[in-house]
Copies of this chain bind each other. A is one copy, B any other.
Amino acid sequence: MTVLADLLISIFERTYKRVSDPITFDQRPLSELAHELVSTRSETRVLTLAREILSRYHLLDAAGKARFFSDVAQQLNLDPTRVRETLFDYERSPSRRTYRAYTEAAEPKRQEFIRRLNQMPGATEQLVKMRSDLLALATQDPNIDALDLDFLHLFSSWFNRGFLVLRPINWQSPAHILEKIIAYEAVHAIQNWDDLRRRLEPTDRRCYAFFHPSMPDEPLIFVEIALTQGIPNSIQSVLSQDRTPLLTQEADTAVFYSISNCQSGLMGVSFGNFLIKQVAADLALGLPNLSTFVTLSPIPDLSKWAEKNAIVPCDTLSPSEVAATYLLDAKNSAGHPLDPVARFHLGNGAIIHAIHESADTSDKGIAQSYGTMVNYLYDFDVVEKKHEMFFNKRLISATSTVSAKAERARKTISDERP
C-alpha cells in the first residue's frame, strides 16, 4: 500500500525532471542506430540509443515512419539458415549453451529491438503508439506484417492480465484522464464535460477502466455502467438528462451500456472479458442488492447485413425479428456469430436476454440497426458453462422470447422465399 504511495511520489518527481533533459542527437540513420541497439552489450548505450530512436521517430512524417518500419522489419529479420543451424546443434547436443543459441536465433531481432526500446522509462506508451502508426499503414508487405506480429507478441506478454489494474473512474478522477474518456468513448459519444459529468457523478452511475502501471495516464479499456431497477429497454431512458438518479441501494441491476477500447496500438490484445467479470465482482461486493448484470448493446452491422441478404423489416417482419435471426443465424467462417458484439459477449458466456425496438432512436442507431438494441445477460453461475458450449459446440444461448422471434423471422423468410 505504502509502496504504491511512494510510487506516486516517484511519478510526480519524474514529471518535474522530464523538463531539463535536452538530447543531443546522433546524426546517423535510424536503421544504423537500430542495428547498434540490438547489438550493443552496454546497458547505458541501450538507454541512449532507445531515447534517440524514439525521439527521432516521433518527428518523422508518415512516409518516414513507413520507411522506418520497412527498414527495421527487413534489417532485423529472421535468419533462417541460422535458425536451422542452431536447431540442429541443439538437437544433436541439447545443453544450456545450444538452447540459448537456438532461442536467440529463432526469434527475429525485431523483438529484441522492441524490448530494448522499452527499457527507456515511459517508452511503453510510445511503442503502443508506434504500433498504432504501423497498423494505420495497412500495407500488404509480409515483413511489416511480421513486425506487427512481433509487436503483438510482446504486447500480449506485457499487457498480461496479471499486470493490469482496475480503477474506478469518477468525477473525482484527474482531468487529464477524464478528457481521454471523452475522446475514447466509442459507442455513445460524450458531447462535453457536462455530458461526461452526467455519466460519472450521479449515485446510479459507475465507470471502470483497466490501466497498465507503465502507462498510468492512459486507460486501456473502460466500461460505463448504469445502476437501474429492472433491465432497461432503451438507451434513451438510460442517458436521459431529466431522469432522477436512483439511490444506490435501490438498484437491483447493473447495466453495462458502453465498452470502449482506447488504444488502437493494442489491437488483438483482449481485455474486455476480464474487465466485465472483475467490474461485476467489484460492484457485487459493494452493492449486495445487485442481482442482475446485463448489457445494453448495439448491433452495429444489422442493417448492412439485412440489406445485403434482403431480410429488411417490413409489415410481416419486425426489426427485432430481423435482429434475432441475425444474431442467432448469421455466422462467420469459424461458425461464430457474424456480429462482433454478440461474438464478444456470447464468447464470454453471456446469453441473449432480450431484443428491443426503438431502443436507440439516434440517427446512428436507426441507421445501423433500425433502432434495435440487445441485452446480453451475464449469469455468473453459468457463464463458464455457456462459454464452453459456445466454443466447443458453437451453441448460442438465448431466452425463449428471443428464440421465438428468430423462429418467426425464419418462418416469414422461408414463406416469402419459395
Are A213's CB and B214's CB within 8 A?
A: yes
Considering only CB atoms, which chain B residue lies closest to A201 in the complex?
B176
Does A168 belong to the interface (CB within 8 Å)?
A: yes
> What separation, in Å, do the CA atoms of A263 and B274 have in the docked complex?
30
Given known pairs A5-B5, A19-B247, the reply for A100 and B162 (CB within 8 Å) is no
Chain B residue at minimal CB-CB distance from A4 = B8
A172 within 8 A of partner (CB): yes
Mostly, the A contact residues are: helix
Is A68 in contact with chain B by the CB < 8 A criterion?
Answer: no
A197 to B175, CA, bound (A): 9
Chain A, 125-162, contact with B by CB distance < 8 Å: what is the 0/1 string? Answer: 00000000000000000110110111001101110111
Which residues of chain A from 216 to 235 have a CB within 8 Å of any chain B CB? 216-217
In the bound complex, what is the Cα–Cα distance between A1 and B15 (angstroms)?
A: 9
A-B contact pairs, 16 of them (CB 8 A): A2-B172, A2-B177, A4-B4, A6-B167, A7-B7, A8-B9, A19-B248, A44-B277, A94-B142, A96-B145, A103-B153, A106-B106, A163-B213, A165-B213, A175-B193, A193-B193
- A-B contact sample (10 more), CB < 8 A, given A2-B174, A3-B167, A80-B90: A1-B15, A2-B5, A10-B166, A44-B273, A83-B87, A115-B157, A158-B163, A171-B176, A173-B174, A192-B193
Chain A interface residues toward B at CB < 8 A: 1-13, 15-17, 19-20, 41-45, 47-48, 78, 80, 83-84, 87, 90-91, 94-96, 99-100, 102-103, 106-107, 115, 118-124, 142-143, 145-146, 148-150, 153-154, 156-158, 160-163, 165-168, 171-178, 192-193, 197, 203, 211, 213-214, 216-217, 247-249, 270, 273-274, 277, 282, 285-286, 348-349, 383-384, 387-388, 391
